[in-house]
A and B are shown apart, each in its own frame.
Chain A
Amino acid sequence: MTRLVFHNFIRSNSVKIGLLFLLLTGIISLFIGKQFLEKQKQNIIETDVYQKEQISRNVEFHKDDIGLLLYYLKFSLVNKTPEITGLSIGQRDVNASIKSVSILGLEGQKYDTELNNPYNLLLGNLDFSFVLIFLFPLVIIAFTFNIISEEKESGTWRIVSVQSKTSFKIILQLFLVRFLSILGVFLLIFFLAIPILNIPINASFWGFMGMSIGYILVWFGICFGVASLHKNSNFNAVILFSIWIFLIIILPATVNNYLVSTYPVPEALETTLQQRKGYHEKWDMDKKTTMDKFFAHYPQFKNFPKPENGFNWLWYYAMQQMGDDESAQYAKELQEKLEQRTMVSSNIARFIPTLHMQIQLNEIAKSGLKNQLNFLEATNKFHEKNRLYFYPKIFKSESVESENWKAFQIENFSDEKFSNSMGLYVPLLVFILFFGVFGWFNFNKNKGLV
């Protein structure tokens, strides 16, 4: 019986078009993901070349002044892009994946942006997460909105339901066939992603897949629930499409507006202003004030000769340090505000499957705000490490030649941790269960209607 239903279903032209449409956009999205990954690789190669170039050129020019040399040198930290990011590019196009920072004040360099065409950002990437979150539900709706109503409208439903003992079983079969064909297309695209994007098969991979299947089921659940109301095809189409618009466009955008107006981020501007002041005003102050603060922060440098008159690198770098130290409180507030935003949005997202998917897929693909915050944190550590390495050398005026400058390659940060927790699936499961039970209940209650 199921086989017959399947043959019936797959013969239809509109079904072939629907499945082909998903397959095609899915494959295009994989190549867009691939292009993104290659661009990232290219950026890293270019950054590497540039870092080597500028180090060797500056070492050449400032052979006898290590303090001046380190005023110019920039060191890069790369936020590693795992292959799975190709499936969900998320915020990676907005936020820089490479930070090139000198050992001067960090707060003035940390937030510098990549080169971006805002039009690209505005219209968004056609990545796989878009195909999955936006387009899959549309085809699911197109396949199921008239599942029973069509047969009823053409008068064939009575024949079908008379021939079978339980019409509910037929309904389930009709849905099952559609689910299996959509699932088939999804799995085909998803497994094509392995060779195209070189995705390693690990927990993230399975997590991504599990959530995607859950999401597809949510939409089948919604369609099942609506079909159980036994309305006509036009009504079903309008209702299902309205739900789609509501979940994909209106609700997320409303939440976004709410978040933006409830959590503005003036801390960012405050931090930048304070770091400028914190550093620059020290030029006009007594050297001792600066040095006392600096030695309080780094007691290990106390024994270096205190600067007296005129310019001195120890004093200069202490002043730079003050830019960071005196804006640290605001930088922390900024970070806390952003963490708050992440938390609030993932909490709200639990109740909106589309949002939940986008945020969690970005999380799995390491392309969300959390990843960016982790990367900024890693940049802090990277910068501090470089500082502490070079400070004593500068303060002792070591010779430039004594350092092996070739050793300063770009460094990598990788945000590997991923836990396949139940929290990812529960919001989806609740939706599936709710609509499933709702549909089941209605179908059984309205047996007479059929």
Chain B
Amino acid sequence: MSYEILTAKLFWKTAFKNKAVFLLTLFIGVLLVYAAYTGWSNFKTQNEIRTKYQAEARKDWLSNPDKHPHRMAHYGHFAFRPKAPLSVFDFGMESFFGSMIFLEAHKQNTVNFSEASFSTGMLRFGEISIAMILQVLLPLLIFFIGFGAIATERQNGTLKILLSQGLTWRSLILGKSLGIIAVVMTLFVPIVLTMIGLCFILQESDFSKDEIFRLFLIIVFYFIYLGIFCVVAVLISAVSKTSKTALTSLIGIWLFFTIILPRASQALGSSIYETPSKAKFTSAIHKDVLQFGDSHNPNDPYYKKLKDSLLAVYKVDSLKKLPFNYSGYQMREGEKISANIYNQHYDQLLNIYEKQNSFSKAMAFVNPFMAIKNISMALSSTDFASFTDFQKQAEKYRYHLAQEMNELQMKYISNDAEGSSGKKHILDKKHWEEVEEFEYKPSNISLVFKNELISFFAFAFWIVLLVFFSNKLSKTLKAI
């Protein structure tokens, strides 16, 4: 083992003697500080803005005077999507998610106002987050540091000497890899410490176990991710005749992993599985709802049957004599039907998205960058699953809000009421408080394991692959 440590130590020393490496490391360090700062300040501002408007929306709701409950169902409420604490670390898809949704009766609205919708197009170059630096820039730094690890020794003729002195290829590869890892740790360790510090400051030590576990996994997986690149650098350097070939091959690999493959795989997915247009999506839902029953049509068989059965059960001859408000009852039925149908269609849409993304997810086996990207976003709650989780909670709230108003109407509003305007058929405003405020509950970490299983497997695959190649090359590599 001491041979490996010795090689690693030697590598560490020479690496930092190189001015360029030192400057690059310093530069990335500065960038990290900027990333941490902007991530943190953006998190703070956005959440302050959203909390403020969430409270204002609630205040507006409560300040409504006595009125017909159906007016309140249309008054509706807003749900503002809070940014997850770990979004400071990895922005993920955050910028492409909307920040607020209007929740009203009969209608599922879109989540509007994403950062991307305010962007001039420069967003497409990416954002600087700590995660981005770890995913994109550190591997490149590793390649810049490591391309000569073995190739330079070969070029200088020192490789022959090393091997003739009894150093095995195995220890050489392992030692050089450890050396690069050690260099990278000078950046990685401070990053980890800053992250932990930031999280505690942000949460004012109100950090849940779930979040601590997430943070822990993030650290572990980034460590493995960077380790993979260190070994790749050494292996490519070992098989290259000159350091120049090693450098150009490594740059090629990096470009392929981080720039070309991700776009290409997603382009393939989205061109095979097409997203429906909004018009088509809405019209399909509409058609299904109408097919089920059309409450506007007085002769609609579904609602006619409903009426007749109600009259029979309550043994009355007119709807006005029912012991509850019929119009509220009918809306309750309608809401149930339309919400169900909407959810079915929405799930189908999500299914299409999932198919589009399947290429990028499977790509993790070819490209460790995709594996870490997916795991990191999921752990930071900035992935699509976290967004749909918010959307589903908001929709659930919307449904309950509408149904509560319908039930209030059934219970308290007379069947003589025509429409919801006027001051005659109204309800005491104390009922508005009975509706609980919307509060987003973050999803559990188990969801991450379920959604990102494939990425976890990809990591295991990469480890096995690199161990296999290191062993194989140890036996077949030549000194010249």
Q: Is the CB of B121 within 8 A of A276?
A: no
- Place the interface of chain A in its size category: 35 or more
The CA-CA distance from A47 to B282 in the complex, in Å, is 10
Q: Is the CB of B263 within 8 A of A123?
A: yes
Q: Is the CB of B356 within 8 A of A311?
A: no
Interface residues of A in 331-382 (CB under 8 A from B): 338, 341-342, 345-346, 349, 354-355, 358-359, 362, 367-369, 372
Least CB separation from A354: chain B residue = B125
The CA-CA distance from A311 to B140 in the complex, in Å, is 69
Residues of B within 8 A of A98 (CB): 278-279
Q: Is the CB of A108 within 8 A of B123?
A: no
The CA-CA distance from A359 to B20 in the complex, in Å, is 33
Least CB separation from A246: chain B residue = B27
The CA-CA distance from A290 to B76 in the complex, in Å, is 21
The CA-CA distance from A234 to B49 in the complex, in Å, is 49
Q: Is the CB of B244 within 8 A of A234?
A: yes
In-complex Cβ contact of B353 among A76, A119, A134, A255 (8 A):
A119
In-complex Cβ contact of B53 among A124, A257, A273 (8 A):
A273
Judge if B71 is at the interface, Cβ distance under 8 Å: yes
Residues of A within 8 A of B125 (CB): 248-249, 252-253, 256, 354-355, 358
Interface residues of A in 29-82 (CB under 8 A from B): 32, 35, 39, 42-43, 46-47, 49-51, 53-54, 61, 76
Judge if A280 is at the interface, Cβ distance under 8 Å: yes
Tally of B interface residues using CB under 8 Å: 98
Over the window 17-43 of chain B, the binary record of Cβ atoms lying under 8 Å from chain A Cβ atoms (1 yes, 0 no) is 000100000000001001100100110
B269 to chain A, nearest CB (A): 8
Residues of B within 8 A of A76 (CB): 279
Q: Is the CB of B113 within 8 A of A277?
A: no
Selecting from A109-117, A400-408, A426-434, the interface stretch reads: A109-117
The CA-CA distance from A237 to B279 in the complex, in Å, is 51
Least CB separation from A57: chain B residue = B290
Q: Is the CB of A32 within 8 A of B279?
A: no
Judge if A450 is at the interface, Cβ distance under 8 Å: no
Asked if A368 meets B120 with Cβ closer than 8 Å, knowing A50-B283, A269-B49, the reply is yes
The CA-CA distance from A76 to B266 in the complex, in Å, is 30
Least CB separation from B255: chain A residue = A138
Residues of A within 8 A of B251 (CB): 237, 241
Judge if A122 is at the interface, Cβ distance under 8 Å: yes
Least CB separation from A42: chain B residue = B277
The CA-CA distance from A237 to B148 in the complex, in Å, is 14
Q: Is the CB of A269 within 8 A of B80?
A: yes
Judge if B326 is at the interface, Cβ distance under 8 Å: no
Residues of B within 8 A of A130 (CB): 263
Q: Is the CB of B121 within 8 A of A362?
A: yes
Q: Is the CB of A310 within 8 A of B421?
A: yes
Judge if B57 is at the interface, Cβ distance under 8 Å: yes
The CA-CA distance from A39 to B275 in the complex, in Å, is 9
Judge if A167 is at the interface, Cβ distance under 8 Å: no
Asked if A280 meets B74 with Cβ closer than 8 Å, knowing A122-B96, A130-B263, A238-B144, the reply is yes
Judge if B186 is at the interface, Cβ distance under 8 Å: no
In-complex Cβ contact of B280 among A50, A123, A124, A241 (8 A):
A50
Residues of B within 8 A of A32 (CB): 267, 271
Residues of B within 8 A of A237 (CB): 244, 247-248, 251
Judge if A233 is at the interface, Cβ distance under 8 Å: yes
Q: Is the CB of B122 within 8 A of A259?
A: yes
Q: Is the CB of B274 within 8 A of A123?
A: no
Interface residues of B in 126-149 (CB under 8 A from A): 126-128, 132, 136-137, 140, 144
The CA-CA distance from A125 to B75 in the complex, in Å, is 39
Judge if B469 is at the interface, Cβ distance under 8 Å: no
In-complex Cβ contact of A234 among B121, B243, B297 (8 A):
B243
The CA-CA distance from A119 to B248 in the complex, in Å, is 30
Judge if A100 is at the interface, Cβ distance under 8 Å: yes
Selecting from A5-13, A87-95, A171-179, A412-420, the interface stretch reads: A87-95
The CA-CA distance from A98 to B280 in the complex, in Å, is 13
Asked if A261 meets B41 with Cβ closer than 8 Å, knowing A138-B255, A270-B53, A349-B122, the reply is yes
Least CB separation from B49: chain A residue = A266
Judge if B380 is at the interface, Cβ distance under 8 Å: no
Residues of A within 8 A of B97 (CB): 118
Selecting from B60-68, B202-210, B312-320, B403-411, the interface stretch reads: B60-68
Q: Is the CB of B422 within 8 A of A311?
A: yes
Least CB separation from A238: chain B residue = B144
Least CB separation from A257: chain B residue = B38
Judge if A392 is at the interface, Cβ distance under 8 Å: no
The CA-CA distance from A116 to B38 in the complex, in Å, is 27
Residues of A within 8 A of B419 (CB): 311
Q: Is the CB of B65 within 8 A of A284?
A: yes
The CA-CA distance from A273 to B3 in the complex, in Å, is 68
The CA-CA distance from A259 to B122 in the complex, in Å, is 10
Q: Is the CB of A369 within 8 A of B110?
A: no
Q: Is the CB of A94 within 8 A of B279?
A: no
In-complex Cβ contact of B296 among A61, A338, A341 (8 A):
A61
Residues of B within 8 A of A213 (CB): none
The CA-CA distance from A90 to B422 in the complex, in Å, is 50
Residues of A within 8 A of B (CB): 25, 32, 35, 39, 42-43, 46-47, 49-51, 53-54, 61, 76, 90-91, 94-96, 98, 100, 108, 111-126, 130, 134-135, 138, 142, 233-234, 237-238, 241, 245, 248-250, 252-261, 264-266, 268-270, 272-273, 276-277, 280, 283-284, 309-311, 338, 341-342, 345-346, 349, 354-355, 358-359, 362, 367-369, 372
Q: A237-B247, A260-B38 given; name 10 further pairs at CB < 8 Å.
A: A50-B279, A116-B275, A118-B96, A134-B259, A142-B248, A234-B247, A237-B248, A260-B42, A273-B57, A310-B422
